[in-house]
Chains A and B, each alone.
Chain A
Amino acid sequence: MTAPAGTQPDTAPRVAARARRGFLRSALTIAAKDLRAELRTKEALNASLAFSVVILLLFSFAFDPTVEETRALAGGLLWLVFAFAGALILNRSFARELPNDCLDALIAAPISASALYLGKALANWLLLMAVEAVSLAVFGVFYNAPWTRQWWPLAGVVALGTWALTVVGTLFSALTVNLRLRELMLPLLVYPVLIPALLAAIQLCGPLALGEPLASDMMVWVRLLVGFDLIFTVLALMLAETALVG
């Protein structure tokens, strides 16, 4: 077949570049669709926000929020809140598509399953980051924690940790969407797999949440977090097709 006048003939790199653009565009379309649907209904967002504020309140009864106590517990407290709030959002991510067989339509759409998965993961990540921003504000006020002094490194750590949570959680959400015990199984499966990432994030957020800079020996945890994110992003993109279609 000859190329139409005025256009370049297709070459292998050109085709690959177009496929890559198409992949990213479909992923962004899915992410935009999910965000729009969520911002209109706010079903997962409101539940997740209310839940994290309630947990933050409850923890203030569990221990006395003095400076020393907060120093010891801040990282763990924040990440428990984020992990629980995340489970609520992740549960809804694929379950939302079940009524009216939307999931079947999405799978039948002319986009790859990994693009569908990546779009959902991006949307979940943004939603969870929004919930975490509000939780951090509430945490700062309730627990007198001056984390704004280190807001930039803290945002980086939270972004990396949240990506770990969403990259594993979104794939497992796709896996468990048809199960009877979906709401129960998801956290049960996600949390043990996430332990290395949560451990790293908890270590890093401890000093950062109190506005203290990171010591140089903490960089090993940043490396762990980045490595975890990379490994599981690749693995999840590879297995997305299997998880969604079979």
Chain B
Amino acid sequence: MREKMLIVFCVLAAILLAYNLYVILLVLPDEAAQGPIFRIIFFHVPAAWTAFLGFLAAAVASVLYLVRKDLRYDAFAVAVTEVGLAFAAANLVTGMIWARIIWGIWWTWDARLTSMLVCWLLYAGYLMLRHAVEEPTQRARIAAVFSIFASVDVPIVFFSIRWWRTQHPQPVVWGGGSMDPAYWNTLFLNWVPLLLLGLAMAGIRLRQERRRRELEALRRMAHAL
């Protein structure tokens, strides 16, 4: 049942992506000021949204783990954190490609770039921390506490670095930036396949964690015999 859902998600994501790519590359005209490179926004922005959704889900799962002490929540937290990290990386890389064309530089210490990088470092630290702990319940507890700290830190990072400096084009949502409605629709329409892809990736990762727990249990049993 679950496996079929994953396949359905992947197929749906593939169909939608194919359609969106057709619209993005062939139907929509070049943006007046930026030329063809602006199309990267249809992946850049939804990738960031997906990443933050993943980190938010990880925070909720971490709190739930500490309340219920059920390792399934821990598996869910690590699955969505890894997927979130992958999408955050996609966001950073697409942003750098865009910056190279428009600003002429790969990187600048602008507010949004810096905040996203800090987020990425925070959650990369989470994964490294997990690798450093052997025992599953101890790993789950330590990782959950760190994940809660990281999720509380993310908004503070964003505010502080925003005060520090800003060069990024105004964010298109709640930021005063403007965009044509046709672009808007495509932007949201392209979030759907990325979200489906993220869900499928998290599902696969969750299955891996389940298998790993089973393997560890079997190994312990074999040692006991």
Interface residues of A (CB under 8 A from B): 168, 171-172, 175-176, 178-181, 185, 188-189, 192-193, 195-196, 199-200, 203, 220-221, 224, 227-228, 231-232, 235, 239, 242-243, 246
Contact = CB atoms under 8 A, between A and B. Distances in A.
A168 B157 CA distance: 15
Interface residues of B, number: 28
B133 interface: yes
A192 B118 contact: yes
A23 to B, nearest CB: 21
B161 interface: yes
A196 B157 contact: yes
Contacts of A200: 160
B149 A192 contact: no
A179 B146 CA distance: 14
B133 A179 contact: yes
Given A181-B132, A185-B128, A224 B159 contact: yes
Contacts of A185: 128-129, 132
Contacts of B11: none
B146 A189 contact: yes
3 tightest A-B contacts by CB?
A196-B160, A192-B121, A196-B156
B141 interface: yes
Given A175-B146, A176-B132, A239-B145, 19 more contacts: A168-B149, A172-B146, A172-B149, A175-B145, A176-B142, A189-B129, A189-B146, A193-B149, A196-B161, A199-B160, A199-B161, A224-B156, A224-B163, A231-B152, A235-B149, A242-B66, A242-B144, A243-B145, A246-B137
A246 B121 CA distance: 26
B67 to A, nearest CB: 10
Contacts of A181: 132
Contact of B118 (A175, A195, A228, A231): A195
Contacts of A232: 149, 152
Contacts of B66: 242
Contacts of A189: 125, 129, 146
Judged by DSSP, the binding face of A is helix
A192 B160 contact: no
A193 B132 CA distance: 18
B141 A246 contact: yes
Nearest to A181: B132
Contacts of A178: 138
Interface string B104-128: 0000000000000010011001001
A27 B138 CA distance: 26
Interface in B140-158: 141-142, 144-146, 148-150, 152-153, 156-157
Nearest to B114: A195
Interface string B29-67: 000000000000000000000000000000000000010
Given A179-B132, A185-B129, A193 B122 contact: yes
For A172, A192, A220, A228, the residue with the greatest tally of chain B CB atoms inside 10 Å of its CB is A192
A224 B132 CA distance: 32
10 contacts: A175-B145, A188-B128, A192-B122, A193-B149, A193-B150, A193-B153, A224-B163, A227-B156, A235-B152, A239-B148
Contacts of A188: 125, 128
Contacts of A195: 118, 153, 157, 160-161
A25 to B, nearest CB: 27
A220 B163 contact: yes
A104 to B, nearest CB: 15
